[in-house]
Each structure stands twice: as C-alpha cells, then as structure tokens.
C-alpha cells in the first residue's frame, strides 16, 4: 500500500512541476531529500549499534530480568498474553525507559527488537496481536520524564518552562492510548480469530 502512496506522491509532484514549469525544483528537491535520507540512515547506524550492544549486555548480565521482575505487576496487566519471562518483556521495558528519558533514537532499535520478539509468539503472522497494538500505543504516546535533547537544544533555557506540561501531556496521552487499545480489543470487529475458533 505504501508503495502506491509513494508512487502517487512522486507522480503528482512530477505532473504539477511540469505544468507549473518548476520541474527543476522538483528534481533538486528529490536529490536533496535522497541525500538527507542517506545521512539520517548512516547516523542511526551508530546509535542502533550502541543500544543493541547495551541491550545484549543487559540480557547477558541478567539486568533485564531484574527490571522485568520489578515492573512485573504492570506488564502482566498490560501484556497478559506475553509470558512474564519472555525476552519481549525485557525489550519493552528498555524501550519504555529510553522513551521516558527522552532518548527517542535509542528507543527505536529496542522497539524494533520488542516487535520482533512479539512476532515470534504470534500465531497469525499477518495480523498484529493485542500485545503488539498495546506496545505500539505505549511507544507512540510515551511518557516523557526528561525533555528530549532536540527540544532542549532548540529552546535552551526556556525549555524548563514546558517541563511540567510535557510530563502531564504525555502522561494523559499514554493513558488515552492504553484505554483506547484495551477498549477496541474488546470489540468483536477487532478481536483476533484463532484457527480453533473458526472450526
């Protein structure tokens, strides 16, 4: 589906650029954005390597298991379909911690690893489970305890003025996200039909 969307956007840009006589600007923008995409991808390689390495060290040292046990009462309620000792719980915990600290780039590889682990226990590989939807909702609306570095860099000293409001807004968004996903998962339209239920 995304391929059709991207093709449509490119096609419309070329057509409009040709009609308005600005096809040169379209070409320049395409080349410029391609360069930017490569720079972003290369920049993320180091961050992903660093945090995946830390994740591996945490796994081998047993740190993830300790953290997972501490927040087990919360994760059991949020992810009842995932075993409490499953590796996905550890990845979810670290992803949530990175998001809370405002380390969005660090949370990305941990989130991808968590989704991969959740997919490994998914019976229907072409359908997202309730746990995957819940994790996505939490990850997208994550509580921010420490302001993201980008905001601090842009606003400087004035960033302290939005500290409380950021915590409040992100807390409310996380509550709304969890409530929504739990509510929708109870509707028949969004319930996963297992093979045994179809027989």
Over residues 163-173, the pLDDT tens digits come to 677 778 888 88
Q: State the pLDDT at residue 52.
A: 67
- Report the C-alpha gap between 75 and 135 in whole angstroms: 10
Cβ neighbours of 74 (radius 10 Å): 11
Residue 17 maps to a domain: no
* Residues 166-199 pLDDT 10s: 778 888 888 898 888 888 888 777 666 544 444 4
Residue 198 maps to a domain: no
Residue 38 maps to a domain: yes
Q: State the pLDDT at residue 159.
A: 56
Count of domains for the chain: 1
Q: Closest by alpha carbon to 77, among 113, 125, 131, 117?
A: 131
Question: Residue 64: is its pLDDT beyond 80?
Answer: no
- Report the C-alpha gap between 110 and 101 in whole angstroms: 14
Q: State the pLDDT at residue 181.
A: 86
pTM confidence score: 0.59
Angle at alpha carbon of residue 90, lines to 88 and 93, rounded to 5° = 110
* Residues 116-163 pLDDT 10s: 888 888 887 778 888 888 888 888 887 766 555 555 555 555 555 666
Residue 88 maps to a domain: yes
Residue 59 maps to a domain: yes
- Report the C-alpha gap between 188 and 176 in whole angstroms: 21
Residue 9 maps to a domain: no
Q: State the pLDDT at residue 198.
A: 42
Range of the domain at 185: 29-192
* Residues 2-49 pLDDT 10s: 788 988 988 898 888 889 888 888 888 888 888 888 887 786 677 667
At 121, list the tokens: 């226990």
């Amino acid at each position: 589906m995304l391929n059709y969307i991207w093709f449509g956007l490119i096609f419309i840009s070329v057509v409009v650029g040709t009609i308005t006589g600005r096809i040169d600007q379209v070409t320049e923008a395409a080349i410029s954005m391609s360069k930017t995409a490569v720079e972003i991808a290369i920049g993320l390689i180091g961050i992903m390597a660093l945090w995946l390495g830390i994740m591996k060290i945490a796994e081998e040292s047993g740190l993830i298991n300790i953290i997972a046990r501490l927040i087990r009462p919360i994760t059991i309620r949020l992810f009842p379909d995932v075993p409490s000792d499953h590796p996905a719980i550890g990845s979810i915990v670290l992803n949530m911690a990175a998001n809370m600290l405002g380390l969005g780039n660090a949370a990305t590889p941990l989130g991808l690893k968590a989704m991969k682990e959740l997919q490994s226990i998914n019976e229907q590989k072409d359908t997202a489970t309730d746990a995957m939807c819940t994790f996505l909702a939490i990850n997208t609306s994550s509580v921010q305890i420490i302001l993201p570095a980008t905001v601090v860099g842009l606003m400087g000293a004035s960033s302290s003025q939005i500290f409380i409001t950021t915590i409040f807004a992100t807390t409310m968004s996380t509550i709304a996200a969890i409530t929504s996903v739990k509510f929708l998962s109870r509707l028949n339209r969004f319930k996963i039909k297992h093979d045994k239920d179809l027989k």
